[in-house]
Amino acid sequence: MKHQEIRITREELERFCSAVFSKLGLSQADAQTAARVLVAADVRGIPSHGVARLRRYVNGLQTGLMRADAEPRVVAESPASIVVDAGGAMGAPVSVQTMQRVIAKAREAGSAFGTVRDSNHFGIAGYYAMLALAEDMIGIAMSNTAALGVPTFGRQVMFGTNPLAFAAPADRHRAFVLDMSTTAVPRGKVEVYARKSEEMPAGWAVDRDGRPTTDAASLLQDMFKRVGGGLLPLGGVGEEHGGHKGYGLAVMVDVLCALLSGGPFGTAVFDTAESSARVSHFFGAIRIDRFRDPGEFRRDMDRMLEQLSQCPPAAGQERVFFAGQKEFEHEAECVRTGVPLMADTYAELEKIGCELRVARV
């Protein structure tokens, strides 16, 4: 049975989330930014990172795990770099501000990078990478997360799902936007199978002994109790299919986010009732015109993206996509017909609206 779906305009949804964040103490500007990033996930067809998470943000702000009154402070700065201590703030506003500063620095320096420490979940990494596109820059964004991933040949979680995003502008096409976790799958996919009490595909996770497992429910319990087991890196178990590469990419993200900012890394990043995960982020921007004419670059990007789209599909498949293409198509549909929300997500938003006395969407 298909779940009932409700469609709401992007603007309405942003207004509601912004009002919720304002009620919980965020400045108007920060509330709007946080709402925009959150809704962008639903608009791009990534509901796992969208308004379905609003309850967690509400909880975080109400309990103080996310500090509404945090004042992020710059702890190091140069013409091409910046390090920000978010002081336990929400992830999205400090991330947008930092990426904007990185872009401003790159305008002068050609390229620039910024890191943020003591932050919180920042939503979709692609949002920040894409801020560089309008400037004819390549955009980069990464974050470490609570440790959920097990290294190749290991049995204990040692790193997060550590997403990385990379955006490059095109001309007729919108852009190439890669936005991926560096584990084979994020935890959310395992949770879906646990809820349905179904076996999950092999190659996603290992159990407490480090052996491949398809038992989603036991895995989540073992991960919760930290007795071993966790998600496999991109490439799966062992080295035969390149699991050590995904493991390496996850650690690379941790190095750029946490080691370059002085934040906690590896197993020190985890959620408890007393503290947020205290995640770190990494942002970068590179001016294209320092290498070649941006117009030529964008037209070559068009040619590349068209060639990829025109790759003959495999038997039984209809289309070949490039990274970001599905998301842009989803966005275009949302502009026409509104942003789709599952009925239970919508009900939760209504509940939050009632509790906080914010006019419902």
Binding residues for its own copies restricted to 190-209, rule: CB under 8 A: 201, 203-204, 206, 209
Out of 107, 211, 225, 351, point to the residue binding its own copies (CB under 8 A): 211
Of the candidate residues 127, 270, 322, 346, the single one contacting its own copies (CB under 8 A)? 322
Min dist CB 145 to its own copies, Å, is: 15
Q: Residues touching its own copies: how many (CB under 8 A)?
A: 87
In this complex, which beta carbon is closest to its own copies, that of residue 1 or of residue 314? 314
- For position 219 contacting its own copies by CB under 8 A, the verdict is no
Minimal distance, residue 352 CB to its own copies, in Å: 32
As a three-state string, the secondary structure of 224-292 is HHCCCCEECECCCCCCCCCHHHHHHHHHHHHHHHHHCCCCCCHHHCCCCCCCCCCEEEEEEEEEHHHCC
288 part of the interface to its own copies, by CB under 8 A: yes
Among 156, 214, 218, 221, binds its own copies (CB under 8 A): 156
How far apart are alpha carbons 356 and 361 in whole angstroms?
13
Q: 102: helix, coil or strand?
A: helix
* Local structure of 350: helix, strand or coil: helix
- Least distance between its own copies and beta carbon 43 (Å): 20
- What are the strands of the beta sheet with 205-206, ordered from one edge? 212-213, 205-206, 230-231
CB of 209 to its own copies, least distance (A): 4
**Residue span binding its own copies (CB under 8 A) among the ranges 16-24, 39-47, 59-67, 264-272:** 264-272
**CB-based contact 230:206 (threshold 8 Å):** yes
- Contact set for its own copies, span 9-48 (CB under 8 A): none
Using CB under 8 A as the binding rule, whether residue 142 contacts its own copies is answered as no
Hunting for tokens 């509330």 — which residue is that? 31
Q: Cβ neighbours of residue 317 under 8 Å, at least 6 residues apart?
A: none
Residue 221's contacts (CB-CB under 8 Å, 6 or more residues apart) are none
Q: Does 330 bind its own copies (CB under 8 A)?
A: no
x/- contact string, 233-252, with its own copies (CB under 8 A)?
Answer: -xxx---xxx-xxxxxx-xx
Both tokens of residue 312? 């003959």
Least CB distance to its own copies at residue 345 (A): 23
One symbol per residue from 290 to 319: x for binding its own copies (CB under 8 A), - otherwise; what is it?
Answer: xxx---xx--xx--x--xx--xxxxx-xxx
Q: Which is nearer to its own copies, 236 or 340 (CB)?
A: 236
- What distance lies between CA 323 and its chain's CA centroid? 15
Gyration radius of the chain over CA positions: 20
Going by the DSSP 8-state scheme, the letter that residue 307 receives in this structure is: H
Q: Interface with its own copies by CB under 8 A: which range of 78-86, 95-103, 338-346, 350-358?
A: 78-86
- Nearer to its own copies by C-beta: 73 or 321? 321
| Residue 255 makes contact with its own copies by CB under 8 A | yes
Residue (76 or 356) nearer to its own copies, CB: 76
Contact predicate 216/247, CB 8 Å: no
Round to whole Å and give the CA distance between 91 and 188. Answer: 19
Q: What is the DSSP code (8-state) at residue 187?
A: H
